[in-house]
Amino acid sequence: RAKKQSNNSYQFFNAAMHTQAMNRLTLETDLRKAIKHQEFGLRYQPIINLQNQQIIGFETLIRWHHPQRGTIDPDDFVPIAEETGLITSIDHWVFYQACQQIARWKSQVNHSDELRISINFSVQDLRKSTLLQDLDAILSEANLAGSAITIEITESILIEDIEQTTELLSQLAAKQIRISIDDFGTGYSSLNYLHRLPVHSLKIDRSFVSQMHANNSNYEVVSTILALSKHLGLTAVAEGIETPEQLQALKKLGCEFGQGYLFAPPLTVEAVEKQLCQNNSFVV
């Protein structure tokens, strides 16, 4: 009897695994078509100067409008795109679109000269041999300076191949492109090399910000990251600010920049222009 039961659960497990594998396989097939059929869309989330609530820029966040499944969030397809290598063509498209968009806003909206656009990169993007030429071509087509761009990379990417990464980040820095370390605090970066890398800012992971008041140790993590960024001469951006309490606490701790639902969720181009472009100037 015991044997039969374990046999059943084995079959059940197997069936579930099979479904999961099939699901993944179709997503992978669909992802290849998605590029060709242009099923991706972009959202832009304002990044705010916490002292004066001015918009200093936008983070570009991808969405997949799947013809059958509806909108799919990046957490559910970026990992597959990374494993299959499709991410490099997707992010090339993202970079192109985001540059065109920010260039349009810069030319159409008053007081937008300092506006910056942030783009998320995966490790495969950094390893692409033509990356620097690709970025140059896209920037010059948009008639945009490198100083308008921030590339966000997660902490774990940095330690994978520190020599090669340092070299590449220096080449990006030479173009005035800024580097921001995303989800900071969740990875394993060592202070040992952090101060040697041409990094401009640290993004404090949402998990710490959202639990700042519920959990004292998370409050301490935020406070420590802010002290660290100050010490290293970096700026800090808090992710996922949802409440006025979080905003007050972050300001008190000296955090300069932030983003989150308290100000605005990731917005469509139309929403940015309708909600934020008052008096032909960006305000939250």
Q: Where are the beta strands (DSSP E) in 29-177?
A: 40-49, 54-66, 70-72, 116-120, 149-154
Binding flag, residue 126, ligand C2E (CB under 6 A): no
Site for ligand C2E in 134-173 (CB under 6 A): 152
Residues near Mg ion (CB under 5 A) are 120, 152, 182-183, 239
Q: Which does 260 bind (CB under 5 to 8 A by kind): Mg ion, ligand C2E, none?
A: ligand C2E
Cβ closer to ligand C2E: 210 or 223? 210
Binding flag, residue 91, ligand C2E (CB under 6 A): yes
Element (H, E) at 235: strand 235-238
Binding flag, residue 122, ligand C2E (CB under 6 A): yes
Which of 47, 72, 78, 202: binder of ligand C2E (CB under 6 A)? 78
Backbone angles phi, psi at 71, to 5 degrees: -75, 130
Binding flag, residue 185, ligand C2E (CB under 6 A): no
CA distance 111 to 128: 35
Nearest Cα to Cα of residue 59 among 148, 119, 102: 119
Cβ-based burial of 217 (10 A; exposed 0-12, middle 13-18, buried ≥19): exposed
Which of 73, 160, 220, 245: binder of ligand C2E (CB under 6 A)? 73
Cβ closer to ligand C2E: 5 or 244? 244
Binding flag, residue 117, ligand C2E (CB under 6 A): no
Cβ closer to ligand C2E: 200 or 206? 206
CB 245 to ligand C2E: min, Å? 13
CB 17 to ligand C2E: min, Å? 25
Binding flag, residue 74, ligand C2E (CB under 6 A): yes
What residues are paired with 64 via a beta bridge? Answer: 40, 72
Backbone angles phi, psi at 275, to 5 degrees: -85, -30
Site for ligand C2E in 2-41 (CB under 6 A): none
Joined together, the tokens standing for residue 276 give: 């934020």
User: Who contacts 175 (Cβ-Cβ below 8 Å, separation ≥6)?
Assistant: 132, 135, 136, 139, 146
Question: Residue type for 125, please?
Answer: D
Assess contact for 269 and 103: CB atoms under 8 A.
Answer: no
Q: Which residues bind ligand C2E (CB under 6 A)?
A: 45, 61-62, 73-75, 78, 87, 91, 94, 120-122, 152, 182-183, 206, 239-242, 259-261, 266
